[in-house]
Amino acid sequence: MKKKFKSFLAVILAVVMLFSFPLSASAFARKDVTGTYRKSVAKMLRGVDYYLGVGCLENYSFKFDDYAKTTMIAIPDSKLNGCSLTYVKKKIQTKMKLYFNTSKVTFKKMSKYRYSKNPAYLVYNKNNKIIYNTGDWGMTSPKGSVRKIVRTGTRTYEVTYNIYLYNSWDKVNCGLMGTYKIYLKKANNKNGFIITNMKQTVSKKI
């Protein structure tokens, strides 16, 4: 009788553990931590605002791949236009590692610019020289704003990030360009995170 009672208790305990742990893990996973990380995440993502803004323009479709990662880091620094591939690699590999935990640099090879919906090809490799096919934003340029940060796991986060067309002269937002979901993972680096994925959820195609 005593043996059967112990077996019955073991079964009850197993059932309780089965149902309680997933629930507690799930509750932990979806926690709003915007107030905790807004400032640090906003500072980090400021470096990719330019590219995210281009991805919201009428003739482009955002895609997160190796080309996008490379151009995202390179495109704000127009001084690299016309520099050798070797030089550009050395200049941006540190930031590639910081933002994406990779030193891989991948530019589209083209003899001349050919229009593509992929904004990553606006910076391309022509005979081992990096060429920029970009314009000037003028007084308005893309500027992001952290809307929400949700912890989705012990070290993973989902950021809802709005991109606005910002007038630097009047210091006002001129309208929403688009919205992204940016997926982060905790890292032991200056930013505190690395970017693991990005998805565009809204594009105004301005």
What's residue 17's pLDDT? 53
Which pLDDT tens digit goes with each residue over 115-140?
A: 999 999 999 999 999 999 998 888 89
Tokens at 183, concatenated: 């997926």
Q: Which residue would you say has higher pLDDT here, 40 or 12?
A: 40
Which pLDDT tens digit goes with each residue over 97-120?
A: 999 999 999 999 999 999 999 999
Q: What are phi and psi of 85, to 5 degrees?
A: -60, -40
Whether residue 3 has pLDDT greater than 80: no
CB 120 within 8 A of CB 133: no
pTM for the model stands at: 0.85
Which pLDDT tens digit goes with each residue over 163-196?
A: 999 998 999 999 999 999 999 999 999 999 999 9
What's residue 11's pLDDT? 47
What's residue 5's pLDDT? 45
Eight-state DSSP code of residue 3: H
What's residue 136's pLDDT? 84
Supply the DSSP string of the chain, one letter for each residue: -HHHHHHHHHHHHHHHHHHHHHHHHHHHHSEE-HHHHHHHHHHHHGGGHHHHHHTTSTT-----SHHHHHHHHHTT-GGGTT-BHHHHHHHHHHHHHHHHS------EE-SS----S-GGGGEEEETTEEEE-----TTEEEEEEEEEEEE-SSSEEEEEEEEEEEETTTTEEEEEEEEEEEEEEE-SSSSSEEEEEEEEEEE---
Whether residue 14 has pLDDT greater than 50: yes
What integer best gives the mean pLDDT of the chain? 90
Which pLDDT tens digit goes with each residue over 16-52?
A: 454 444 444 455 568 999 999 999 999 999 999 999 9
Tokens at 185, concatenated: 């993972």
Q: What percent of the chain has pLDDT over 70?
A: 86
